[in-house]
Structure 1
Amino acid sequence: MNRDTQLQQLREDITWDMVIIGGGATGLGAAVDAASRGYKTLLVEQYDFGKGTSSRSTKLVHGGVRYLEHGNIKLVKEALRERGWLLKNAPHLTSVQPFVIPVRRWWQKWYYGLGLRLYDLLSGKLSLGQTQLLSAKETLALLPALAPEKVKGGILYYDGQFDDSRLCIDLASTAVLHGATLVNYCTVTGLIKEKKKITGITVHIAATDETHTIKARSVVNATGVFTDTILKMDDPDATNMVDPSQGVHLVVDAIHFPGTHALMIPKTDDQRVLFAVPWHNKVVIGTTDTPIEEVAAEPLVLEEEVDYILEHINRYVSPQIRREDIKSVFAGLRPLVRSKEGTSTALLSRDHTIVVSPSGLVTITGGKWTTYRKMAQDAVDNAVFISKLDKRLCITKNLPIGDPLSVQQKKEKMIQEDQRLASKLHPDFSYQWADIAYAVRHEMAVTVEDVLARRTRLLFLNAHAALDCLEQVVLFMQIELNQSDEWVQAQKKYFIELVEGYL
């Protein structure tokens, strides 16, 4: 997946069967789907792949236990099915994660236990494990961080876990493997129409100051929280579709939450669930649900959101987790589909919605990471129908994602050619310099943030550690990308300011 090669393909004067705007989970999934069906596919992303919501999740591949309580059986059943296929198609980035729900009253054990038995039944042959009722002693053995006086028992159940932005990169490489062209840092500046129907887009590539006109038989808007921007580019009078909601997560060392089991708190003060999930030898705790007026590429964590998470987790754990224990904090925006006035974002549906505009623009938004494949299939099916392309069957249910063996072999070859690449990026993490070299040469990483936030997860795991690596990484990338000293200074300045939001 070489960026120069992808750019050269974008510059070709051809008509694409499908142009996808947005390089998050849904857009990349659509690119894999369309390309694997044999459609000539182009995807453009204004930032980096997975820069927004898709790299800032709770790291769970799950059916959504709490949606059962809301009676949304259809969504849960679909998500559980998709969970099973994702774990099968990307085993190198996913795993089965055992969860424990601690209870404080005896009746809660049966109430949640029955709900989770239904959860198991809905997953059918794709079940990940049998739900079990636990005694207080068994619960504390699995979650030793819990305060013993607050536990009367628990329920053990199973869900999936994954690395979100790494999955984005593997989806991108899979799309390219099947013939798609993908370009990051490529901004859509306009939609081209003939007789009121979309026939293409115009794009701008900032790094080279290029402007291109792209011809397309169909255009898919998969821009997440930026959905309304593209809708208004199509029709200035279009009604907003998205109510953005911010979710914040804290990352702490595993010493504060030892063991391999995750915690699920079934009901917070605002009717949400709260998770504490082991991830990359750290623990991710979250999340919040804060309505947001302004959509930003880099959302800011609010002080009250950190307080909220600490307050709720500390009702269960001992010793208490303090602010100074937090290694990183990150915020993501959910593209929730707009509903009735006055409805809390915590209660808005996580189901996805597709809208086809009079111009033929296919917009898909809402949904959740777990159901990205189904969302992509629905978007591609609609684009094929609207543009009268030859109908071809979707094959992504059983399509392997990424090629981990090939990636490892290429990294080993790099190390053989340059032994320095075998050394660790940071003494506290397993990342090697070969990971950085591979990200730049084969994964279209063009900024320090791409490398330290998404190709590796250092910024999300320990913001100070990411800052420690900045000097060496930027100089390494300068040589790899043949960049100027001015580029180095600009990268340093931006990344230092970026890290402030994660501290």
Structure 2
Amino acid sequence: MTASTTTDSLAPLGPSSGAATGRASMLGRLDNGPFDLVVAGGGATGLGVALDAALRGLKVALLESHDFAKGTSSRATKLVHGGVRYLAQGRIGLVRESLRERSALLHNAPELVRPLPFVVPAYHFWEIPFYTAGLSLYDVLAGRDGLGATHVLSRRQTGKRLPGVCMKGLVGGIEYWDAQFDDARLAVALARAAEAAGAVVLNYVRVTGLIHERGRVAGVRAQDTETGQDFMLRSPCVVNAAGVWSDALRRLDAQASDRPVQDLIRTSRGTHLVVDRSFFPSDRALLVPRTADGRVLFAVPWLGKVLLGTTDVATDELTREPRPDDAEIDYILQEAGRYLQVQPARRDIRSAWAGLRPLVDPAAEGAAAGPVATRSISREHTVEISAAGLVTVAGGKWTTYRAMAQDALEACARAGLLATLPPCRTQDFVLAAAAGPRAGPAHGAQRGGDVLGSAGLTPAMIRHAARHEYARKVEDVLARRSRLLFLDAALAARAAPDAARILQSETGVDAGLDDFLLLARRYGLGMV
């Protein structure tokens, strides 16, 4: 959804065949099997696998039961990073790989990923040499991929770089570099690139089962959730990239062969709060590596707002819309108040949301069973191939999605699930998709009462999302093609009726307005 699409903003709202015929054509291609590879799951991992495979010349289909990046992949802290916290865990290999992939993302998606300086405020003198040593090692591990040197800051320099930071007791700070991105927009860019490379890429088509022949996975059964139409996609290679829902497909595979299976995923919930920039009017991010209870706190400038987070709470609840609980919200507000001059309150929250992290359970990899705090579980990924040939890619993070995809396909080739595997092309593949709106809600008064305009949107942007970016529901447009729901839930609710009307004229299907209004109320903590 780019500004360049605004030229048709005054076009009449007549029925459009663009979005409808495009999707119908893509659905029709599902019958043109067999495929070399079928991917279940349209988050970061699945989209990465689909793009990598398509660029190698393989015949690929990717199916996502909801919208692309609807789950974990649109709910990140918006950071492309090597993982400073993993240095303390001794995960040097993971940090080194992540720093390499950070560099690749900055090169491959320059419109969606940008370098971002971070400042660690120090309130005890011992913190300065302690954190400087760790962050200097971070620079060493980055090597040629470094974005800038780590610097020790005086108290005055720290205050200038972090306007709004609490000055009481501040003794200095440490500045280092990582990067920031728009997670949901990157997911759409990957989907568009995979389609352009020849892949069949469909959202709102769910995998309903696996096809087994002679004890081996031979494809998937699927259903278009809009029409109820059923499909059978045959393929000798099925990649399970369903994130926190991966174990459900693994259990279906095991049931077909009457084999026991142990769950691979341990789920953690991370909550984020969004407040106005007035609380932290900085172009740098604030990082507290260790809060009072050992967690990490971020205050990150993002699309004209400030993102506060995050929590790390073990949960067994698998839901498409995880809710932050009161304790998580209070924790973030309380910790933010310790480091900001003005403590935000509940009434100041513009949007509150949570995501589920798919962490690989150490017990499932042969480690001793027992209680494990989720923050101690590695974000390293695992590629598992079942006895029947189902390939599951689990764990990892957005920063390493490309390396995960490459590892998965190479594992498929070693297992004989792919007849051929040409060389990987994603290391230097530049995504051509343009970025969406960069500024979020417009500042100041509404322009002539135009709610869409005050939200930084135009009718043409919504049409573009439907015709070229797979948007089917108003939530797709206001949560992921633009990020309005995540930035200002109340404004998203006001913009939703107009957005839904335009979108429905494009797609010819129900835009899900009522469901979105309920969702916006939840993100706005009932204050919408």
Letter in 2 for 1:463: A
Aligned to 1:370: 399
SS at the partner of 1:191?
strand
Aligned to 1:356: 385
Q: TM-score scaled by structure 2?
A: 0.89
1:10 CA drift (Å): 1.4
Q: Percent identity?
A: 44
Aligned to 1:287: 310
Select between 384-393 and 49-58 the one with higher mean Cα deviation: 384-393
Instruction: Check if 1:324 corresponds to 2:353.
Output: no
Instruction: Check if 1:4 corresponds to 2:24.
Output: yes
Aligned to 2:267: 244
The counterpart of 2:299, out of the listed 258, 276, 301, is 276
Aligned to 1:402: 432
Aligned to 1:467: 493
1:459 CA drift (Å): 0.3
Change (3 A) 1:8 1:425: farther
* Paired residues of 1:166 and 1:455 also in contact (CA < 8 A): yes
Instruction: Check if 1:117 corresponds to 2:146.
Output: no
1:124 CA drift (Å): 1.0
Select between 441-450 and 52-61 the one with higher mean Cα deviation: 441-450
Q: How does 1:52-67 map to 2 (within 5 A)?
A: 52-67=71-86
Distance, in Å, in 2 between the alignment partners of 1:206 and 1:165 is 21
Distance, in Å, in 2 between the alignment partners of 1:424 and 1:500 is 21
* Paired residues of 1:19 and 1:220 also in contact (CA < 8 A): yes
Letter in 2 for 1:389: A
* Paired residues of 1:424 and 1:430 also in contact (CA < 8 A): no
SS at the partner of 1:468?
helix
1:107 CA drift (Å): 1.6
Runs of 4+ in 1 over 4 A off after TM superposition: none
Letter in 1 for 2:210: L
Change (3 A) 1:424 1:98: farther
Aligned to 1:496: 517
Distance, in Å, in 2 between the alignment partners of 1:482 and 1:187 is 20
Letter in 2 for 1:3: R
Q: How does 1:378-457 map to 2 (within 5 A)?
A: 378-386=407-415, 387-404=417-434, 426-457=452-483
Distance, in Å, in 2 between the alignment partners of 1:322 and 1:469 is 25
Question: Any gaps of 5 or more consecutive residues in structure 2?
Answer: 1-18, 363-368, 438-448
* Paired residues of 2:65 and 2:203 also in contact (CA < 8 A): yes
Change (3 A) 1:425 1:216: farther
Distance, in Å, in 2 between the alignment partners of 1:142 and 1:429 is 29
Distance, in Å, in 2 between the alignment partners of 1:11 and 1:184 is 16
Instruction: Check if 1:344 corresponds to 2:373.
Output: yes
Letter in 1 for 2:332: I
Instruction: Check if 1:210 corresponds to 2:229.
Output: yes
Question: Any gaps of 5 or more consecutive residues in structure 1?
Answer: 409-422
The alignment covers a number of residue pairs equal to: 482
Change (3 A) 1:477 1:427: closer
* Paired residues of 1:271 and 1:346 also in contact (CA < 8 A): no
1:427 CA drift (Å): 4.1
* Paired residues of 2:490 and 2:521 also in contact (CA < 8 A): no
Distance, in Å, in 1 between the alignment partners of 2:200 and 2:451 is 31
1:388 CA drift (Å): 4.1
Select between 204-213 and 223-232 the one with higher mean Cα deviation: 204-213
Instruction: Check if 1:78 corresponds to 2:97.
Output: yes
SS at the partner of 1:351?
coil
Distance, in Å, in 2 between the alignment partners of 1:202 and 1:322 is 48
1:7 CA drift (Å): 1.2
Aligned to 2:43: 24
1:424 CA drift (Å): 6.9
Letter in 2 for 1:267: R
Aligned to 1:419: none
SS at the partner of 1:426?
helix
SS at the partner of 1:362?
strand
Q: 1:188-211 deviations in whole A, cap 9, x for unaligned?
A: 111111111111110011211101
* Paired residues of 2:451 and 2:494 also in contact (CA < 8 A): no
1:300 CA drift (Å): 1.2
Aligned to 1:201: 220
1:121 CA drift (Å): 1.0
* Paired residues of 1:424 and 1:432 also in contact (CA < 8 A): no
Distance, in Å, in 1 between the alignment partners of 2:477 and 2:130 is 45
1:480 CA drift (Å): 1.3
The counterpart of 2:508, out of the listed 474, 482, 487, is 482
Letter in 2 for 1:11: D
Aligned to 1:415: none
Distance, in Å, in 2 between the alignment partners of 1:86 and 1:317 is 31
Instruction: Check if 1:155 corresponds to 2:174.
Output: yes
Distance, in Å, in 1 between the alignment partners of 2:267 and 2:418 is 33
Aligned to 1:49: 68
SS at the partner of 1:238?
coil
The counterpart of 2:286, out of the listed 263, 272, 275, is 263
Change (3 A) 1:428 1:140: farther
Q: How does 1:75-114 map to 2 (within 5 A)?
A: 75-114=94-133
1:425 CA drift (Å): 5.8
1:493 CA drift (Å): 1.8
1:93 CA drift (Å): 0.4
Distance, in Å, in 1 between the alignment partners of 2:418 and 2:343 is 60
1:19 CA drift (Å): 0.4
Q: 1:283-315 deviations in whole A, cap 9, x for unaligned?
A: 111100111112111111111110010111111
SS at the partner of 2:198?
coil
Q: TM-score scaled by structure 1?
A: 0.93
1:373 CA drift (Å): 0.4
SS at the partner of 1:139?
helix
Distance, in Å, in 2 between the alignment partners of 1:19 and 1:32 is 12
1:402 CA drift (Å): 3.0
* Paired residues of 1:424 and 1:433 also in contact (CA < 8 A): no
Q: 1:255-284 deviations in whole A, cap 9, x for unaligned?
A: 111020110011023422111110101111
Distance, in Å, in 1 between the alignment partners of 2:374 and 2:116 is 27
Aligned to 2:6: none
1:501 CA drift (Å): 2.1
Aligned to 1:417: none
Distance, in Å, in 2 between the alignment partners of 1:467 and 1:495 is 8
1:435 CA drift (Å): 1.6
Report the aligned-residue RMSD. Answer: 1.6
Distance, in Å, in 2 between the alignment partners of 1:164 and 1:425 is 25
Distance, in Å, in 2 between the alignment partners of 1:255 and 1:284 is 12
SS at the partner of 2:327?
helix
Q: 1:152-209 deviations in whole A, cap 9, x for unaligned?
A: 1000001000000000000000101111111111111111111111111100112111
Change (3 A) 1:457 1:388: closer
Distance, in Å, in 2 between the alignment partners of 1:425 and 1:377 is 44
Change (3 A) 1:85 1:425: farther
1:377 CA drift (Å): 0.6
Aligned to 1:227: 246
Letter in 2 for 1:5: S
Q: 1:208-263 deviations in whole A, cap 9, x for unaligned?
A: 11011110020000010001001001013311001110000001111111020110
Distance, in Å, in 1 between the alignment partners of 2:410 and 2:247 is 22
